[in-house]
Amino acid sequence: MATIRFKAIEEVLNRQPIDVVLPSTKTSKYFGENVFDKLEMQEYLSREAYQNVIDSINQGTRIDRKIANQVAIGMKAWAVERGATHYTHWFHPLTGSTAEKHDAFFEPAEGGGVIESFQGEMLVQQEPDASSFPHGGIRNTFEARGYTAWDPSSPAFVYGNTLCIPTIFVAYTGEALDYKTPLIKALNFIDKAAGDVCQYFDKDVEKVNVTLGWEQEYFLIDNALYNARPDLHLTGRTLIGHASAKDQQLSDHYFGSISDRVKNYMVDFEVEAYKLGIPVKTRHNEVAPNQFECAPIFEEANLAVDHNQILMTLMDKVARRHNFRVLFHEKPFKGINGSGKHNNWSMLTNTGKNLLSPGKTPRSNMRFLTFLINTIKAVHDHADILRASVAVAGNEHRLGAHEAPPAIMSVFIGSQLTNMLDQLEKRVTNKKMTPDEKTELKLDIGKIPEILLDNTDRNRTSPFAFTGNRFEFRAVGSSANVASPMITLNTVVANQLIQFKKEVDAIIEKDVKKDEAIFQVLKKYIIASKKIRFEGNGYGEEWIAEAAKRGLSNIADVPEALKAFISKETKDVFEKSQIFTERELEARYDIRLEIFTKRLQIEARVLGDLIRNHIIPTLIKYQNTLIENVKGLKELFPKDQYEKMSKHELDTIVEISERTAIVKQAVDEMIEARKQANRIDNIRKKSEVYSTKVVPYFEKIRYHVDKLELIVDDEIWPLPKYREMLFTR
């Protein structure tokens, strides 16, 4: 009998909100208290050491050994005061999550006893035995060591009893084995490229920082129900389960009042986030039942990426304290919204100017148009690698599947800016402009209001939308390490800006005025990238046809999408800009295919087990009950009466048999297909076979099992149902 399910439901019904012990002061008093930030560094480091670290952050200079020792001593003293007993290099391997290996501070002292010790070399570099992290063949060479190295641009922090030091992770041979290494390179690359372009408009610009504000969506599910669903437990999503009669139709969850139990959870992880300096600002209920979102104030992108990774870890840990499980899977429940992680992206100069924000003067609007149009052009030219940067198994259910953002990359900018680009296209010519023409152009540009925020139409269906002073890359999956899309986006935009500057300078050399040269190139880009701009409904059927007509690619299949990692265009850009070598791109491609394939393999196994061990035995049990009943009726009643009375039962018995037969056969075939796929060594071929030969069985099996869920006695259905997982509080 379905004892586990009912016990779980009972547990949930008896749950009380878990109390949160709030700090006794206001947020600003404890915000960042566990972060070794600039203020703390000034207190714990010598002036010289502090200046070295700051230079390293601002200019990427190396920190020498002597200074590293000083920093280590200061950092240790600070950490020990906060209760730290251990330290760890904290890094972002290509698994997508973060990794840590804790070492105690204590060391044997001379003459006996132990002391707390932490040397410069422990801070700067470590050699974790990290042979089990994905490496895509990079570490199969004779020298398979990997190193972690301190990233001073992201501050160390204390969590629990551990001092965590953000690091990069690279192979002995220099190839990156993580997300942070290429991210830092890409951010430096765009700093330089955008900074150079800024010189056309403002000579004071010395540094351009990328800003990133991610919005994190997630589901919560009660721990007891989660544990009663092997599929959720092992794959992060429900592989079977009929839709609840009521789910999100009434939109009554979106922005609804947050229940006490959930609110306490949110408050709890927010307090922990604040202590770590993560500026979580917004919390609300999302569209789907039990779906929520939190968003911070944007930060410099490298820090923002670290903060997102830390927050996901925190959210997971704190959830357990509240008897919840947090689901970051992109599509835990079929038929209702999945979860994404919108990446709000812009660039900020050291002079305080947001490069995607129009200003008061035609000059600042010209700068704005320059960065806007170059971004559109970059997305146009590199749509496929951007799409690939967010392609993971979970996101496949969101992208171009049951919901958007669609598998077709497009850019939305709103009607105002569309008009503006149309005007530019008409007005700008390649011959010398007359004073009248110049005045008209100036007037046009002057029309861009300083604050577009309020009157930019919101188009929720676009994967890449301009939202007033930033672009929002919406196709990113909720479980993603956002470094991946950030590496890609910043590299392709930086590459585009370099190209732009080259073209403008070439025209200037022909004695054309700077402004005119800029407009000429912008006009060219407006025309060249027109087909990526789309203002309509990205979810509509019409768009699919329209996009095909425009020649835009529409890739929903993950292995297909990932091919962009090794396309000629991608290799050209990433090699030229020294973000990735060809070998690193090949490795990343293979690692992603590997992870994708393994996820599908696990899903296929879990599905097989569920059907064979949970569902089919239940079906037989119920069918036997019906058969008993029919036999009884036959014994008790005359034939004509019996036939009438048993009609429903007999139909159900037949339906169960028929559907069971289909399901059983599909499971057998799926297992066979899996076995065949597993025999393939080449991961590129294997992933394709998984995607095209194994996955199609998932839907087929699910379809019939979900129908059966509707006819089998609720008393014996073994798995918590959608209505229970989404609504039982």
Nearer to ligand ADP (CB atom), residue 154 or residue 349: 349
446-475 positions binding ligand ADP, by CB under 6 A = 469-470
Long-range contact pairs involving 249-254 (C-beta distance under 8 Å, separation at least 24): 251/287, 253/285, 253/286, 253/287, 253/288, 253/289, 253/290, 253/291, 254/285, 254/286, 254/287
Judged by beta carbon, residue 153 or residue 479, the one nearer Mg ion is: 479
Question: Smallest gap, in angstroms, from Cβ of residue 76 to Mg ion?
Answer: 40
Helix boundaries (H) for 447-581: 483-509, 514-528, 541-550, 558-562, 568-576
Identify which of residues 274 and 690 has a Cβ nearer to ligand ADP in the complex.
274
Shortest Å, Cβ 467 to Mg ion: 7
The helix-helix angle for 65-81 and 47-59 (nearest 10°) equals: 100
- Answer yes or no: are the C-beta atoms of 267 and 22 closer than 8 Å: yes
- Nearer Cβ to ligand ADP, position 275 or 470? 470
Per CB under 6 A, does 629 bind ligand ADP? no
Cβ burial, residue 681 (10 Å; 0-12/13-18/19+): exposed
- Residues 6 or more apart whose Cβ sits within 8 Å of residue 484: 179, 389, 390
Which amino acid is located at 252 in the chain? D
Prior bond to 405 cis, omega within 30?
yes
- The least distance separating Mg ion from the CB of residue 349, rounded to whole angstroms, comes to 23
Q: From CA 560, how far away is CA 562, in angstroms rounded?
A: 6
Among the listed residues 157, 298, 473, 565, the single contact to ligand ADP using CB under 6 A: 298
| Binding-site partner at residue 282 among ligand ADP, Mg ion, none, CB < 5 to 8 Å by type | ligand ADP
Q: How far apart are CB 293 and ligand ADP at their closest, in Å?
A: 7
| Burial call 233-252: b when 16+ CB within 10 Å, e when fewer | eebbbbbbbbbbeebbeeee
Q: Which is nearer to ligand ADP, 212 or 318 (CB)?
A: 212
Q: How far apart are CA 472 and CA 476, in angstroms?
A: 10
d(CA 40, CA 177): 31
* Six token digits for residue 185: 């390179």
Tell me the per-residue interface mask from 172 to 211 with ligand ADP, x by CB under 6 A, - otherwise.
Answer: ---------------------------------------x
Q: HSE of 79 in the Cβ direction (CA atoms, 13 Å)?
A: 29
Radius of gyration of the chain (CA): 29
Give the total of residues touching Mg ion (CB under 5 A). Answer: 1
96, 128, 152, 213: which one binds ligand ADP (CB under 6 A): 213
Q: Which of 131, 141, 282, 430 binds ligand ADP (CB under 6 A)?
A: 282
523 binds Mg ion (CB under 5 A): no
266 is a contact residue toward ligand ADP (CB under 6 A): no
Decide: is 538 part of the binding site for ligand ADP (CB under 6 A): no
> CB under 5 A: which stretch of 37-45, 154-162, 341-349, 377-385 binds Mg ion?
341-349
- Do residues 459 and 474 lie in contact, with contact meaning Cβ atoms separated by under 8 Å? no
- Residue 395 interface partner, choices ligand ADP, Mg ion, none, CB cut-off 5-8 Å depending on type: none
Single out the residue of 346, 395, 462, 623 in contact with ligand ADP (rule: CB under 6 A): 346
Which one of 76, 261, 342, 588 is in contact with Mg ion (CB under 5 A)? 342
DSSP summary character for residue 119:
-
Q: CB nearer to ligand ADP: give 224 or 482.
A: 482
Q: What is the DSSP letter of 431?
A: S
Identity of the residue, 417 or 701, whose beta carbon is nearer to Mg ion in the bound complex? 417
Among the listed residues 151, 175, 215, 724, the single contact to ligand ADP using CB under 6 A = 215
Interface contacts to Mg ion, rule CB under 5 A: 342
Residue ranges in contact with ligand ADP by CB under 6 A: 211-213, 215, 282, 295-298, 344-346, 354, 469-470
